[in-house]
Amino acid sequence: MPQITNPILPGFNPDPSILRVGDDYYIATSTFEWFPGVQIHHSKDLANWELVTRPLTRKSQLDMRGDPDSCGVWAPCLTHDGEKFWLVYTDVKRKDGSFKDAHNYIVWADSIEGPWSDPIYVNSSGFDPSLFHDDDGKKWFVNMLWDHRTRPLLFAGIALQQFDPVAGKLVGPVKNIYQGTDLKLVEGPHLYKRNGYYYLLTAEGGTAYDHACTFARSRHIEGPYETHPDQHILTSKDAPLAALQRAGHGDIVETPEGRTYLVHLAGRPTTQERRCVLGRETAIQEAYWGEDDWLYVKNGPVPSLHVEVPGTRDEARYWAEQRYTFENGLHQDFQWLRTPETERIFKAENGRLTLFGRESIGSWFEQALVARRQTHFSYDAETVVDFAATDERTMAGLTAYYSRYNFFYLAVTAHSDGQRELLLMSSEMSWPDGKLRFPAEPVQIPATGKVRLALTIRGRKLQFFYAMEGEALKAIGPVLDASILSDECGGHQAHGSFTGAFVGMAAHDLNGTASPAHFDYFIYRPQHDPSDRYEV
């Protein structure tokens, strides 16, 4: 069989839940504070994947205004019971400190494209929920349990309870079925049944560099569960030089031919400081069932960079330039932050995208920022903006963005006297000392006229450019450090930032007058760079 190079879903696609229905494979991944919620990709061959839907599209399903960075939609689980698709997800409202407010929901649909139902609220006892359809017709809900007392464990174990789909609620007793291993931080549960065993796949060690997939089994769904003789069937924690780091949080799928694969999240650090600018991505490993009825990862437990799968990846498509115009609305590659009320922040019509300036960049409530994932270590981006800035509180332009803690923003704005200017800003909570920076002196520009804005990223080197109409691009500001747009610099400890770098268009109006900014197009152009360790 042909080999592919991991990851299969590059750039911010963590916590994969995989499903096969007939000859069709689907993977659901977390989207955190980015709206619409949950990405679902489709494949026929495990090599080529296409985004087919983001099912959480309306206010009744998801409203993340006020959710802090790296909160929102965590660890979805996508399943099929022979009749319909089921999607389980968490909306996290608070994650920092001793307490977590993590609300779990279920939606369903007859087809993967939807329409998807309004949600059933399930519980809030912990996150990473999963739904298991047993062969006797019963449905079981599992999620990790959070114990703010840490008595004895903060991640207290995996809770199991029966779900009644007719009543739309959990029924019967709650049982803590598995507390994990000495690696601790047990989460991400998925249940399976095979050869008379119930199998429980969990994530342990936190989502940073000690992450792992831990496997256990029992003859009874309520346990007791016996841990795999190797404990962790997948991990990079003891292999610091492995290409795929942070490996864990997996799910299992069988091909029609009976081959077994494990999908999992992983990160690809590219700097000496081990920063993963592309966030946590989805990779795949071949696995097999041993004669002892335990699952093993081929050449594991360290994940392989190159893996045999049924298909051959279309590399030309991966490297193709993407030029986005807005005649037919907003392309599905783009997302925005938190709000389901899209009409308040943008409209795409008459061949251009209009953003209505709202709150400041980094707001956890309502800001007009529309962006796409960074999926390559090196790329160019470009747009043209028409914006009549009136003072220093109105701004619109091009941003390379991770969170309120880490961003770069080249904005058309104005001085307090009304003179338009270009202003280059970097993170208000910039790593490591938390100050808004201005890496270059402002550049005065004419009072009217469109402005072309561009940036190049080559590994960790970021350079911004600008031009007025009819002029050539010229550099503005110094070369900046793009590597801070990473989980490791996201404003939290190692286990606390979960997304990835984006690039896109933004507008902000701190006067509250919703000033419109008009964008003609957006270009994302991947670049081969010999210094990129993985893209060969």
pLDDT tens for each residue of 207-225: 999 999 999 999 999 999 9
Report yes or no: 42 and 26 within 8 Å, Cβ to Cβ: yes
Q: How far is CA 354 from CA 165, 328, 360, in A?
A: 42, 13, 17
512: DSSP letter? S
| pLDDT band with cut points at 50, 70 and 90 for residue 360 | very high
Average pLDDT of the chain?
Answer: 96
pLDDT of residue 495: 73
Which tops the pLDDT comparison, 24 or 271? 24
Give the closest residue to 217 by CA, choosing from 235, 238, 236, 202: 202
Structure tokens given for 64:
């993340």
Instruction: List the domains of the chain with CATH numbers.
Output: 3-318 (2.115.10.20), 321-526 (2.60.120.200)
Q: Is 469 a catalytic residue?
A: no
Q: CA of 322: how far to CAs of 45, 331, 482, 524, in Å?
A: 24, 11, 21, 5
Closest to 268 measured CA to CA, from 301, 236, 300, 297: 236
- Predicted confidence (pLDDT) per residue in 369-428, tens digit: 999 999 999 999 999 999 999 999 999 999 999 999 899 999 999 999 999 999 999 997
Given this model, what pLDDT does residue 535 score?
A: 54
pLDDT confidence tier of residue 108, bands split at 50, 70 and 90: very high
Q: Provide the pLDDT for residue 431.
A: 60
Residue 492 has pLDDT above 80, yes or no: no
Predicted confidence at residue 430, as pLDDT, reads 66
Residues with Cβ < 8 Å from 330, sequence gap 6 or more?
Answer: 346, 348, 353, 370
pLDDT in tens, 170-179: 999 999 999 9
The full 3-state SS of 190-228, as one line of letters, equals EEEEECCEEEEEEEECCCCCCCEEEEEEECCCCCCCEEE
Reported as a single tens digit per residue, the pLDDT across 431-471 is: 666 689 999 999 999 999 999 999 999 999 999 999 999 99
Give residue 532's pLDDT: 64
Q: What pLDDT sits at residue 1?
A: 84
pLDDT tens by residue, 276-286: 999 999 999 99
Q: What average pLDDT score do residues 334-361 get?
A: 97
**Catalytic status, residue 187:** yes
Per-residue pLDDT reduced to its tens digit, 23-41: 999 999 999 999 999 999 9
Q: State pTM to two decimals.
A: 0.97
Average pLDDT of span 472-485: 97
Residues 187/170, Cβ–Cβ less than 8 Å: no
Cα–Cα distance between 194 and 217 in angstroms, integer?
10
Residue 324's alpha-carbon distances to 94, 310, 348, 506, 522, in angstroms, are 35, 32, 12, 15, 5
Q: 530 falls in which pLDDT band (50, 70, 90)? A: low
pLDDT at residue 536 greater than cutoff 50? no
- Which residues pair with residue 142 across a beta bridge? 130, 160
User: Could you say which of 187, 204, 210, 386 is catalytic?
Assistant: 187
Bridge-based pairing of strands 34-35 and 120-123 is: unpaired
User: pLDDT tens, 457-466?
Assistant: 999 999 999 9
Question: What was the pLDDT predicted at 231?
Answer: 97
Radius of gyration of the chain (CA): 23
The per-residue pLDDT for 270 is 87
Q: Mean pLDDT over residues 142-163, rounded? A: 97
Can you give the pLDDT at residue 222? 98
Question: Over the stretch 238-268, which tens digit does the pLDDT of each residue have?
Answer: 999 999 999 999 999 999 999 999 999 999 9
* Whether residue 115 has pLDDT greater than 50: yes
Max CA distance (Å), the chain: 78
Query: What pLDDT score does 533 carry?
Result: 60
The distance of Cα 290 from the centroid of its chain, to the nearest Å, equals: 33
pLDDT at 435: 82
